[in-house]
Structure 1
């Protein structure tokens, strides 16, 4: 063990032989021989003619990956059977044993790989053009070159803008989401002509049923303060009042409907009540007079602002069952007195309860059983035939109505003893008119075998006693 003096300091060192001069000179470091070039790399410098050693250069050891080591250990185990390295063979990781366990080429190469991250944004064909079979292939730009769009501010006419608004309002009638409709209208950039929203929505609602008119009133009320303001409502209703002469041609009730809309907007605080006062003495059109009179009468009645919430009536599905049953009974009674099938059909459609039409069938059959006359049976059969032929009452609803009568026959027979006989004749008459099918006729209940002393004639009911 020798010592080396560096700047007056004694340093311990391993046996080192330093030779300099020729290219063939060698240096012995820790007992190993190397060239002078390598010696110069392994020493830090020359101090007073003495070369001092620097710390040994540490190179990172290249160890095989964990996956490779695991597979090799399994293959070299003591077992007699050496499992094939199928998993190693199909691995997408590096096989040289010096990787970090990451996919080859960063996942950008090989069969079945997704490609490098973001490669889909820069993917191009060899010739720089997109494949013609690609759904995104653009025939006008086959070279797939970038081009800049030039935005031109096109001034749309009122007719074109109203068509776009009309389509959005029609979609609103389907989904009923006022927020979605507001966002769609905002994208149309109608702020400068927002009164057209009022005009278009009211004109479209005039051609629809009362439930859609109620939805239109809700839409106009929800848009207040966001897209529509007081001036827009006033300008829109003023345009509708001036155009009543044309609206009456398509909708005869246009003056009354428009009056309801104006009164409802006043009740919703969209426009002030003074809006009606500004037209007094300034209107010469008869239709406009009817509209203003209708609005004034609705607002001047007792608790008018509260009642205007139901100016279009309550929606079909939200009304109580007892209310609907009462309406259908009144409908049938009015039909028996007027014999007007068209009016009865219109009243049934206005109820907007297609899921509850079986109640009409039930009440019609029960009315036939209670009246016990031929006229009622014939008129009800004609009504059901007309409703069935026009598919206003579906076969499912028709069947449900008759089955309900079959189930309630024991209770009906208490008040109407010959109910079974009348029911049989009425059902057969409806079968001839193709109102019901054979399956309904087969399920028809028959009269019980129990005999009563008061019936006489051995319990036999005379068929000619009823229609």
Structure 2
């Protein structure tokens, strides 16, 4: 064996560079001084070796170095220049990695191919259904499959909504009707009701809407009548309407406890429904001689009277009135002037507050303030002066007229005082006194008082009167 290794070493001489990773040369050990410790190759692990054993050991080291070189060269083939783990560029001569574990955990391709993109374009991997935007074709069912069921193949699956019971019906429909009183869109109510499975509670919708409108305002009762007209035919049938009004007549004794005027109001709803042709003309006649309840009889009598008056020219579609902002501006101004004149004659501030609240135009209250101050300027009477101040004070304390609306009303008078002064020569002087008194009573603030216009004018009172204007008395 030793002879064979010796022959192989003679044919393939080993250079010192090939064994640099396994042996430390004498020069490296002694800091570059040559000639000393030349027999270090003859001692391994404290044992002296013969020349033949030394040659055998060198042969083994050379074989190990060649195997390592062959392994690194095959790994780096096709890369050209490569980077070691230490960041050094290796050209031709492989450099053993300092951390073999990092190579094992590296997910990059060992072959040096690819552009670093995810495999299969991101469509592969665990829990991935496929590439985004990819549309799969319908899978044909194999009829020879032992799990194939012909009856199940022709099934059509639909979403089933259970019908509403009485308790869920009130909780679901009541918010819809109350929201309708705010926006007034009948189409939205029809869509919401169509999405519900009303079932046998379908005929309860009109009676619930009317019972809620009994405690509401006149404008909301008008909206309820319009809602019944729009729902009839699309969501509800005529038979549903008749059964709903029958229920209202039966429930009148209970409705009167909360709304004393319920019989008259229900009678107006019945007359309006007959006029709008959602109830038959013979609906009222069908109850003649069959009603024992006093409240139901009063409601039917009220409906019959209104229908007879309609034959004489009365329009039943306007008996609820027009609510709030739907009224023309000219009509609102006329009603505010009538309200002020009635208040000056009667002196009932509570009735004036109620009438102003029933107009349902809180955004237009600045017109009421404007008309009240103009009435004071034109009347030039001490009674009107004091009564209007007292009314504005009460409306301000009750927050029926907000601070913003009050301010806008005074500012409008400031802007039009020049035109008012043409008809009322004392307009500037009376306005100054009215504004100063309003500030003292807490109706307006300092800023609004200081904005009051002033004008140099001729002396309109004698010096003996002390500068006091004499108001005309009624």
TM tier, smaller: 0.5 to 0.7
Q: Report 1 or 2 for greater relative contact order, CA contacts < 8 Å, sequence distance ≥ 6.
A: 2
1:106 to 105, 113, 121: 121
Alignment of 1:297-316 (within 5 A): 297-302=305-310, 307-316=315-324
> What secondary structure, in the 3-state scheme, does the structure 2 residue paired with 1:463 have?
coil
What are the Cα deviations for residues 274-326 of structure 1, in whole angstroms up to 9, with x where unaligned? Answer: 10111222223332233122212222224679822223211321222111111
Q: Distance in 2 between matches of 1:272 and 1:96?
A: 89
Is structure 2 residue 344 aligned with structure 1 residue 329?
A: no
In the other structure, the counterpart of 2:245 is 237
Alignment of 1:356-375 (within 5 A): 356-375=364-383
Could you tell me which runs of 5 or more consecutive residues in structure 1 were left unpaired when the two chains were aligned: 1-94, 120-150
The 2-side partners of 1:230 and 1:368 are apart by 56
SS of the equivalent of 1:273 reads coil
Whether the aligned pair in 1 keeps the contact of 2:310 and 2:316 (CA below 8 Å) is: no
Match of 2:207 in 1: 199
* 2:440 counterpart of 1:432: yes
For 1:143-222, what aligned pairs fall within 5 Å after superposition? 157-222=165-230
Contact 2:163 2:199 in 1 (8 A): no
Q: Give the distance between the partners of 1:461 and 1:415, measured in 2 at CA.
A: 25
- After superposing on structure 2, the runs of 4+ consecutive aligned residues of structure 1 that deviate more than 6 Å are 95-99, 151-155, 458-461
Instruction: Note closer, same or farther for the CA distance 1:363–1:153 as it changes in structure 2 (3 Å cut).
Output: closer
Q: Relative to structure 1, is the Cα distance of residues 154 and 317 closer, same or farther in structure 2, using a 3 angstrom cutoff? A: closer
Report if aligned partners of 1:202, 1:216 keep a CA contact under 8 Å in 2: yes
What displacement does 1:204 show? 0.8
State the shift of 1:411 in Å.
Answer: 2.2
**SS of 2:200's equivalent?**
helix
Task: Assess, with a 3 A threshold, how the Cα gap between structure 1 residues 109 and 305 changes in structure 2: closer, same or farther.
Answer: farther
Q: 1:418 to 1:355 in 2, by over 3 A?
A: same
Residue of structure 2 equivalent to 1:33: none
Aligned partners of 1:461, 1:274: CA distance in 2, in Å? Answer: 77
Shift of 1:360: 0.5
In the alignment, the residues of structure 2 paired with residue 395 and residue 323 of structure 1 have an alpha-carbon distance, to the nearest angstrom, of: 24
User: What is the distance in 1 between the residues matched to 2:294 and 2:355?
Assistant: 29
Aligned residues: CA RMSD: 3.5
Work out whether residues 191 and 227 of structure 1, in 8 Å CA contact, stay in contact via their aligned partners in 2.
no
Aligned to 2:467: 462
1:19-38 alignment runs, 5 A limit: none
Aligned-pair distance for 1:96?
6.9
Q: What's the secondary structure of 2:425's corresponding residue?
A: coil
Contact 2:264 2:302 in 1 (8 A): yes
Q: Distance in 2 between matches of 1:301 and 1:103?
A: 84
Structure 2 counterpart of 1:318: 326
In structure 1, distance between residues paired with 2:264 and 2:394: 31
Tell whether the 8 Å contact from 1:370 to 1:416 is kept in structure 2 after alignment: yes
User: Matched residue of 1:312: which SS?
Assistant: coil
TM-score by length of 2: 0.64
What does residue range 60-459 of structure 1 map to in structure 2 within 5 Å?
Answer: 104-107=119-122, 116-117=131-132, 157-302=165-310, 307-449=315-457, 451=458, 455=460, 457=462
Shift of 1:109: 8.0
Sort the Cα spacing of 1:439 and 1:109 in 2 relative to 1 into closer, same or farther, 3 A: farther
> Contact conserved, 2:370 with 2:412, CA < 8 A, in 1?
yes
For 1:84, the equivalent position in structure 2 comes to none
Cα distance change, pair 446–391 in 1 and its aligned pair in 2 (3 A): same
**Partner secondary structure for residue 465 of structure 1:** coil
In the alignment, is the contact (CA less than 8 A) between 2:366 and 2:406 conserved in 1? yes
SS at match of 1:183: helix
**Larger helix fraction of residues:** 2
- SS of the aligned residue for 2:225 comes to helix
- 8 Å contact 2:161–2:196 — kept in the other structure? no
Alignment CA distance shift 1:281-1:438 (3 Å): same
SS at match of 2:268: helix
Higher share in strand:
1
Deviation (angstroms), 1:153? 9.2
Greater radius of gyration (CA): 2
Displacement of 1:115 in angstroms is 8.3
TM-superposed deviation, 1:406: 1.4
Q: Is the 8 A contact 1:258 1:291 kept in 2?
A: yes
Residues 217-256 of structure 1 deviation map (CA, whole Å, 9 limit, x = unaligned):
1211111112212221111111111211211221122122
What do the CA deviations read for 1:390-437 (whole angstroms, capped 9, x no partner)?
A: 221111111111111112222222322222222222212211221111
* Alignment partner, residue 45 of structure 2: none
Q: Secondary structure at the match of 2:232?
A: coil
TM-score normalized by the length of structure 1: 0.65
The separation in 2 between residues aligned to 1:246 and 1:185, in whole angstroms, is: 27
Residues 1:409 and 1:296: Cα distance change in structure 2 (over 3 Å): same
1:91-115 Cα shifts (integer Å, max 9, x gaps):
xxxx97778x9865323589xx998
C-alpha contact 1:362 1:404 (8 A) present in aligned 2:
yes
Distance 1:177 1:213 in 2: 14
